[in-house]
Structure 1
Amino acid sequence: MTTIIELLYKFDKYLVTQLQSNTFTSNLLITPTSKFITEFLIIVFFGLLSYEIIYWSGIYLRLWEYHAKDIFKEIPIHCAHINIKLNLIKSDKLDKLKKHYDEKTKINYQTNFINLLKQNNNNNDLFELKNFIKYYFEFSPDDFEMNKEPEFGSTIKHLREKILRLFKESDLFNEYDHPKITIDDVKIYNNLNQEVPKQENENYLSKCNIETGNVIDVIIII
């Protein structure tokens, strides 16, 4: 108890010294009442500031969740347009494909350009097309107004269907004729190079790390 009292005394002495060093703040210490109110407000201010810093830092670091997350739900901005890079792969190379994107995900975190070049050189024989084909997709209200929650935008399933329809209408489909191709054969990778699983088909792009302006990979199994 003595230690706490000593600390409070030292804090009071330090605070008074700092306030008296300025003409404006020294006027706040004229009477015992004004001195008490001033010190109380300063302590409350720094207490609240420390609490907010710790609280929001914990949320950012995912140590705990926002206390009112079930009341004030955050609505992400729906995906308005994306660029996709399309390639094809044979079904007997799916294990290699998984390894390819696992390594690519690690490289994203390491940001090692040399490793990225090595990986690209080692996977030249993985895909059917030498170069990825680039497409641009825009999402209008027609693409999501039928959804249960249209404010979230388009779904993963809808994107798979758009890509598959585009592929079947292209000359590329005639070259790699495979009539049994379905949306389950359309692999989508988000902006973290992680595959979006089939279980997320009814989920929204904006909830699967696919945002407006992203460039994502799409691989069709033939």
Structure 2
Amino acid sequence: MTAKDNKPQTRIQRKKHALILDAALDVFSTDGFRGATLDAIAARAEMSKPNLLYYFASKEAIHTALLSRLLANWLDPLITLNPSGDPLQEILSYVQRKLEMARDYPRESRLFAGEILRGAPHMGDALRSDLRRLVDEKATVIQGWIDQGRLAPHDPHHLIMSIWAQTQHYADFDIQVRAVLGDADWAGAEAHLKQLFTRMLTPT
């Protein structure tokens, strides 16, 4: 809602709010922040621009709302990496969940990529605080497994970034993937990444 309206939303207002965010996700993930317009978002949501502005004061407000929701979902798979679990299975489960997110939430992945390419003007603080703390925490867990001889030696921070690169690629570069493969081969991608990380991380 707009900043001036702090009242609890009605069911209809919640529905409209969700409709706008879903429409905006389509527009932002396709056209980028600079290319997106309130007119395009309103048209995609099948409502008038003044009606849209009743819920969000600006394009920036919609974009920020989407990014706030996205970051929480994006961090969840890494949060669930269990220090007490089997190291290789924990890493493989993380890879699988990230790949599933690329498959199931390609618009969100491209929205995130677009924000990063713009220099993260809306998410920079969160990336340098929440994300960095979480990655440092999980890198410490992975390094502990390595020190115990339960995983082959690798830089934990770069391992996490490699997982991001090799899973989110399938969403962020969807056009390229489909141009080469015809259709996104998710089962093949999962099998390949499982084999890749198993061989890379299994202690010799």
Normalised to the residue count of structure 1, the TM-score between the two structures is 0.27
Higher strand share: 1
Structure showing greater Rg: 1
Higher helix share: 2
Normalised to the residue count of structure 2, the TM-score between the two structures is 0.28
